[in-house]
Amino acid sequence: MMTPSIFGENLFDDFFDDFFDFPSFDNKEMRKAERKLYGRHAANMMKTDVQEHDDHYEVDIDLPGFQKDELSLELKAGYLVISAAKGLDKDEKEKKTGKFVRRERYAGSMSRSFYVGEDVKQEDIHAKYESGVLKLSIPKAETKKSAVEDKKCIAIEG
């Protein structure tokens, strides 16, 4: 089973949408706390789609503006950690011709982790990055048969 870690987004957010749309519920404080945790542009970062297939998951993560060498994937203790880091262009730092009136482009680092299971190996995960989208293929962990299924019955004579 592939689930996001505690620090990612909840896959069940849609289930509670009707409750949070109720007029008396004010989520202003929740948005304020989210901004403190993840920054101003949290809603736009690392948006992820997960598709389940018979033997694997396909994960598409939006990472616009990043180069391939600014991304890293690491598998540790059953968690797949996707990290992205970028600074502002070096040429822009060297230019001292004027001051910025507005600066919206992202510079910094971010990461997201998914629990993929202890049995998944690094060489089994395939990654491809093109047009600002990181595409991952992650095999499903093999389900182990329970002891009940392995039980054999013995006929009783008499």
Q: What is the CATH number of the domain that holds 99?
A: 2.60.40.790
Residue 66 has pLDDT above 50, yes or no: yes
Residue 57 has pLDDT above 80, yes or no: yes
pTM for this model (two decimals): 0.60
Residue 82 has pLDDT above 70, yes or no: yes
Q: What is the pLDDT of residue 7?
A: 47
In a domain, 94, yes or no: yes
In a domain, 19, yes or no: no
pLDDT tens digits along 5-46: 544 444 445 555 555 555 555 667 766 665 655 555 555 578
Cα 74 to Cα 83: distance, rounded to the nearest angstrom: 8
Q: How confident is the model at residue 54 (pLDDT cuts 50, 70, 90)?
A: very high
Q: How confident is the model at residue 132 (pLDDT cuts 50, 70, 90)?
A: very high
Q: What is the pLDDT of residue 23?
A: 55
In a domain, 20, yes or no: no
Number of domains in the chain: 1
Residues 33-62 have a mean pLDDT of 78
8: containing domain = 3-12+44-142
Q: How far lies 93's CA from each of 69, 80, 85, 125, in Å?
A: 20, 34, 17, 37
Q: What is the pLDDT of residue 157?
A: 75
In a domain, 109, yes or no: yes
In a domain, 130, yes or no: yes
In a domain, 122, yes or no: yes
Nearest to 113, CA basis, from 5, 3, 1:
5
CA of residue 60 relative to chain centroid, distance:
9
In a domain, 156, yes or no: no
Residues 134-150 have a mean pLDDT of 74
In a domain, 90, yes or no: yes
Cα 103 to Cα 126: distance, rounded to the nearest angstrom: 35
pLDDT tens digits along 86-123: 876 655 555 667 777 887 777 788 889 999 988 889 99
